[in-house]
Amino acid sequence: MASAPALKRTDSVVDNMPDALRQSRYHMKRCFAKYLEKGRRIMKLHHLMEEMELVIDDKSERSQVLEGILGFILSSTQEAVVDPPYVAFAIRPNPGVWEFVKVSSEDLSVEAITPTDYLKFKERVHDEKWATDENSFEADFGAFDSQIPLLTLSSSIGNGLEFTSKFLTSKLTGKLEKTQAIVDYLLTLNHQGESLMINDSLNSAAKLQMALVVADAFLSGLSKDTAYQNFELRFKEWGFERGWGDTAGRVKETMRTLSEVLQAPDPMNLEKFLSNLPIIFNVVIFSVHGYFGQADVLGLPDTGGQVVYILDQVKSLEAELLLRIRQQGLNVKPQILVVTRLIPDARGTKCHHELEPISDTKHSHILRVPFQTDKGILRQWISRFDIYPYLERFTQDATAKILEFMEGKPDLVIGNYTDGNLVASLMARKLGITQGTIAHALEKTKYEDSDVKWKELDPKYHFSCQFMADTVAMNASDFIITSTYQEIAGSKDRPGQYESHAAFTLPGLCRVVSGINVFDPKFNIVAPGADQSVYFPYTEKEKRLSQFHPAIEDLLFSKVDNIEHIGYLADRRKPIIFSMARLDVVKNLSGLVEWYGKNKRLRNLVNLVIVGGFFDPSKSKDREEMAEIKKMHDLIDKYQLKGQFRWIAAQTNRYRNGELYRCIADTRGAFVQPALYEAFGLTVIEAMNCGLPTFATNQGGPAEIIVDGVSGFHIDPLNGEESSNKIADFFEKCKVNQSQWNVISEAGLQRINECYTWKIYANKMVNMGNIYTFWRQVNKEQKEAKQRYIQMFYNLIFKNLVKTVPAPSDEPQQPVGKQ
C-alpha cells in the first residue's frame, strides 16, 4: 500500500474518513457499490482490497486513491461488515486501539458507532433475530473497572507492574495518614498465625514511623552481619516481628526503604519494599489437561511446551522463594504444588500416581486429582476441548487435597491454559487468595471468525465454553503473565490474543461488549527461559554430555531405517538444518520439508533433519497428525529426498535433545522453526541457548524473541521460496566467511542471557505476586463487586454451556494437536 501520512494522534478515524472518502468520491462510490453487490457479509482487509482492485483496475489510479489518509485508514482496517446500505468498519490504528464507523454507500457519510453497534452488525450476518432483539444478553466486564487506572500508550502495554507501583504511589502520597494502607496491610501479614513485620502496637503510620527512627539508630551501632536473632527480642518490644531481614544490614535497608516510603512515596522504593515482603510461601500451579509428568509425556496428545514451561518455572520459583525467605530472616519451607488431573489409563507414564516430587527441587510436588463423574473416576485421557464438565468438581476435590497437603491455604494460585485458569479462578475466589493467569496460547485467534461462527464450531471445539471460561479467568485474575507483547496486543497488523477478547460476540448466546482491556495494568510480559543446565552452548566442551554421542551419531547418520529414524545423510560434511516439534499442521514441519525439496541451492548447501511424530499413520488417532505423516512420506518421494533428509521420531529425553542441538551446532548448522503460528516457541530459545543460529517464524512469539538479522532470522511461513532462500543465503555467506556463523550464534546467546532466563522470570514473578496482593487489598471493594458479576456470569452462562459438552464414549479419545 502507498505510504500514507499517519493520522495525527489527536485525530480520529471518524474525523479523517469523510474527507478521505470525498477526495476519491468517484472511485469510492463504485467500490462501495461492489462491496454491496453480494449483500450482507463480513469482509477481511484482503477481500476489501481484492474487490477494490477489480473496480479500479488501473494501477496508477489505484495507488493515487490509496495514497494519503484513505490508504492509511484502509490498511488499519481489520474487518468490515456489509449491511446494505451501510458498510461498518472495525479500524485498528494502533495495537489495542479500535475505532468503529459506519459508512453509507449512498452518500459516503461517516458516523462513529460503539463496539456494541459494530457487534450487532456482525450478528445480523449470522442471526438477525438475536441481533435486533433489544433484550439480547450483553456482558460488560469493563463496567466494573471505572476506578482502575489504565495505561495510555500502546507501547506500554504489558508493563503493568511498573504502572501499578506508580499508581499506588499516587494513592499513598500526601499526608502521612494516606500511608495507613501500608500499615494495615503489614498488620495482616503472618505465617501460620504468627505475625510478621509488625504487631498491633505499631498500628498507625505515625507510630511505625517513630519506631523506624529508633530502630535505625540502634542498627547503626551494629555490624552489618549481626544476625537478627541477636536483637530480635528488643525489636519485638518495639513492635517489630520477623521478616525484615536476616542480618542487621538487611533489616536496616528494608527499614530505610519503608521510612522513605512513609516520608514521601516513590514508585521505586514502594516496589522494592513490597517486593521484599514475606507474603508468598505456598504456591499452587494448575495445569489440568493432558499428561502432566516429568518423563515420557512430551508429544502425547495436548502435551507440549506447557509442561516443560511449568517444570522449569517451579524450579526457578522455588529457588527464588528459598533465597528471599532466607534473606527475610525466616525459617519457613516454601511449598509449590503443581496440580493436574490423575489419569488411570496412564499409557506408560506416571500420570496415575497421586503424588510425585519434582526433580531438582527440595519441596515441590506434582499432585494429581482424578476427574470424578456420577459413574466414578474418569479413566481415559480426554481432549482439552472436552474437559469443561469435570472442572467444577475437580476444583472442589483439588482444593480439599491442597488444603490437606499444605496444611493451610496457599498464598498464590497460578492457572495455565483455559482449564487451569478457570479452576484457579474458582479456587482463588473460594479461598480469597491472589490469582495469576498464564494462557500459553488462547484459542480464539487461531480460527477465523471463531466467535460469530461459534454454533458451527461448537460441536467439535466447544468454543462457547472456552471463550466464556477465558473471559471469566482473565477478569477474575489479579495479574496476567504473557510470554510476549503479541500475546496481549499483537503487532501493527495483527490483533493480539487477549485483544481479541476486548469485544466479541457469540450470536444467540452472549454479546461481550467489553471483555478485557489490554491497557489494564494487570498485564505483564514475563518471558520464560530454557533450563540452562540442559540447554547450554556447544562451546562449553567440559560440560558436554558425551555419553549421548554414540546414540546421536546413530540417530543422525546411520544408514538404516527403523522405528526411530528414516532417510539418511549421504554427505555428512554438510551443515545440518534442524527442526523439532509435534507433528501438528500449525507447526508446519512438512512445509519446511517442501521448501527444502524445492530449493536446489539450499539442498546443495545443507542436509535437513527433522524430529517429530512417528512414521506409521495407522498408529495415530489424530486426524491432523495422520495427514501430516502421509504428507511427509509423499514429500520424501516427490522431491527424492533420500540421501539429504533424515526424519527422526519424537524424542522424549530432554538431556539428549540438548546434546542433539549442540551436535547440530558442531556441524555449523542452524535451527529452523517454520510454524504457521507460534504462541511463544520454547524450541527457539532452546536452540539459541545451545548457540545454534536460528531461523524462526515471523508469526507470533519468535518474531519478538529474535531480532531479525542480528540474533537470528525471521522467516515467513507463508512464503517458502523467500524463506528457503534466506536460509540458503546465510549458508552461502558462511561458506565465504566462517565468522558469519559465529556472529549470529553469539548474538543469539547474548539475546537469551539479556531477556530469556528463568532467573529473570522468577524474580519478576515473586515481585508480581507481592505487589498485586497488596493492590488487591487496596482495591478490595471494587474487586468484590466485580467478583459478584463474574460469579453470576459463571453460574448463569458458563454452567449451562457445559451441559452441552457430551460425556466421552468408551471409544479411545480423539486427540487434537495443541498449538
Please name which of 142, 320, 401, 292 lies closest in space to residue 769, comparing C-alpha atoms: 320
Of the candidates 305, 389, 693, 720, which one interacts with ligand LCN according to CB under 6 A?
A: 305
Q: List the single partner that 324 binds among ligand UDP, ligand LCN, none, CB under 5 to 8 Å by kind.
A: none
Give the β-pairing of 77-83 and 41-44.
antiparallel
Of residues 700-759, which lie at the interface with ligand LCN (CB under 6 A)? 701
Dist CA 435 CA 522 (whole Å): 11
Percentage helix, strand, coil, to 5, in the chain? 50, 15, 35
Residue type, 312: D
Dist CA 751 CA 684 (whole Å): 12
Considering only the stretches 349-357, 680-688, 708-716, 728-736, report the one whose residues sit in contact with ligand LCN under the rule CB under 6 A. Answer: 680-688
Strands (DSSP E) contained in 581-663 are: 607-611, 645-648
CB of 722 to ligand LCN, least distance (A): 23
CB of 299 to ligand UDP, least distance (A): 5
485 is an interface residue for ligand LCN by CB under 6 A? no
CB of 311 to ligand UDP, least distance (A): 10
Q: List the single partner that 724 binds among ligand UDP, ligand LCN, none, CB under 5 to 8 Å by kind.
A: none
Considering only the stretches 69-77, 173-181, 302-310, 558-566, report the one whose residues sit in contact with ligand LCN under the rule CB under 6 A. Answer: 302-310
CB of 679 to ligand LCN, least distance (A): 4
Of the candidates 35, 390, 596, 680, which one interacts with ligand LCN according to CB under 6 A?
A: 680
- Our CB check for ligand LCN shows the closer of 87 and 583 to be 583
- Our CB check for ligand UDP shows the closer of 201 and 652 to be 652
681 is an interface residue for ligand LCN by CB under 6 A? yes
Q: List the single partner that 516 binds among ligand UDP, ligand LCN, none, CB under 5 to 8 Å by kind.
A: none
Q: Which residues bind ligand UDP (CB under 6 A)?
A: 298-299, 304-306, 308, 580-582, 611-612, 650-651, 654, 657, 680-683, 686, 819
Binding mask 408-447 for ligand LCN (x = CB under 6 A): --------------------------------xx------
CB of 289 to ligand LCN, least distance (A): 12
289 is an interface residue for ligand LCN by CB under 6 A? no
- Half-sphere exposure of residue 647: CA atoms within 13 angstroms, side-chain side: 26
Joined together, the cell numbers standing for residue 86 give: 451501510
530 is an interface residue for ligand LCN by CB under 6 A? no
CB of 712 to ligand UDP, least distance (A): 15
Residue type, 279: I
Give the distance, in angstroms, between the CA of residue 110 and the centroid of all CA atoms in the same chain: 37
For the chain, how many residues are written?
819
Of the candidates 659, 678, 686, 704, which one interacts with ligand LCN according to CB under 6 A?
A: 678
Dist CA 716 CA 403 (whole Å): 49
Q: List the single partner that 71 binds among ligand LCN, ligand UDP, none, CB under 5 to 8 Å by kind.
A: none
Element (H, E) at 666: helix 654-666
Joined together, the cell numbers standing for residue 7 give: 493520522
698 is an interface residue for ligand LCN by CB under 6 A? no
Helix 267-275 to helix 758-778 angle, to the nearest 10 degrees? 100
- Our CB check for ligand LCN shows the closer of 282 and 483 to be 483
Question: By three-state DSSP, how is residue 369 classified?
Answer: strand
Dist CA 58 CA 26 (whole Å): 14
605: Cβ–Cβ under 8 A, 6 or more apart, which residues?
Answer: 574, 575, 728, 731, 732, 735
CB of 816 to ligand LCN, least distance (A): 13
389: Cβ–Cβ under 8 A, 6 or more apart, which residues?
Answer: 373, 802, 803, 805, 807
451 is an interface residue for ligand LCN by CB under 6 A? no
309 is an interface residue for ligand LCN by CB under 6 A? yes
Q: Output b/e per residue, 121-149; b: 16+ Cβ within 10 A.
A: bbbbbbbeebbeeeebeebebbebbeebb
Of the candidates 303, 306, 399, 482, which one interacts with ligand LCN according to CB under 6 A?
A: 306
Dist CA 156 CA 768 (whole Å): 17
Which positions touch ligand LCN (CB under 6 A)? 305-306, 309, 440-441, 483, 678-682, 701, 819
